[in-house]
Amino acid sequence: MQTFLQQIINALSLGSIYALLALGYSMVYGIIKLINFAHGDIYMLGAFTAYFVINIWHFNFMTALLAAMAISALSGVLIEYFAYRPLRKSPRIAVLITAIGVSFLLENGMSYLVGSNARSFPQVIAQVNYSMGGILISNIQILILGIALILMVLLQLIIKKTKMGRAMRAVSVDPDAAELVGINVNQTISFTFALGSALAGAAGILIGMYYNSIDPLMGMTPGIKAFVAAVLGGIGSVPGAAFGGFLIGILETLFQSVGLSAYKDAVVYLVLIIILLFLPAGIFGKNIKEKV
């Protein structure tokens, strides 16, 4: 039982990071029906932003977290403005290919600028382990889970309680009708990208602290897993994306704990196939019939 509880704690820490990433995928898809495959690389930019501001300017954790979120949000807005907005009326395949191209551009651009080797993330907070009934939990794990939950709650409050949140919900339902009632659709979409990218930036610094290592290609696999989490929970659903992220984290950690770490990525993709076959709308998603 102690081993099981220990693995659940580890899974929640990892799952909270997947959840933050999945929220960005889900919000962007919900508002413009785009799978932003560059989202995982925004997460990488957040990690490197935190790395440099801590090493060069000696920022503390909270300041580095805000800096990572700000740079990631700005990057998301610029990507939407220059890469996706001109193609908004284009076929879906053109936008999808562009998203993949932006992903490669960010990865290779960062590799060119800083090198492709992995770097040790600075220990801005000294790790302290606590033992509770034979279960070890570190202050880093508590911090990761706490920050992730706070950001999720704030996101839900923004969506449900603010004017911009109402605009986001209106645009996701019918952008043309939203524009007719005076909502600035472009501004709303840019805000959605900024919000999702800021969450990815926060996930970047948290994963850097968790694994103590970052590199320019670090966003590829977590980005795909977060996409699986968003599909699992119901793409377009904010609570579903959060739930899916935690579920993927638990599934991956449990496979590692039973000695099948070599197959932890494969099982995530297997889950995606099963979900698409038997529950294509996801756990929290709704099947919507389109009229012809």
The domain locations on the chain are 15-219
Does pTM surpass 0.95?
no
According to DSSP, the residues that pair with 129 across neighbouring strands are 138
**Dihedral sign, Cα of residue 109, residue 114, residue 117, residue 120:** negative
What distance in Å separates the CA atoms of residue 7 and residue 13, rounded to the nearest whole number? 10
What distance in Å separates the CA atoms of residue 207 and residue 103, rounded to the nearest whole number? 19
What distance in Å separates the CA atoms of residue 50 and residue 67, rounded to the nearest whole number? 7
Q: What is the three-class DSSP state of 260?
A: coil
According to DSSP, the residues that pair with 120 across neighbouring strands are 213
What distance in Å separates the CA atoms of residue 133 and residue 112, rounded to the nearest whole number? 48
Residue range 51-101, pLDDT digits in tens:
999 999 999 999 999 999 999 999 999 999 999 999 988 998 999 999 999
Residue range 34-50, pLDDT digits in tens:
889 999 999 999 999 99
Closest C-alpha to 243, from 273, 204, 283: 283
Residue range 264-287, pLDDT digits in tens:
888 888 888 888 888 888 888 766
| The token pair that represents 146 in the structure block | 């706490």
Residue range 163-177, pLDDT digits in tens:
999 999 999 989 999
pLDDT at 292 over 70: no
Residue range 99-133, pLDDT digits in tens:
999 999 999 999 999 999 999 999 899 899 998 87
| The token pair that represents 204 in the structure block | 């970047």
What pLDDT shows up at residue 205? 96
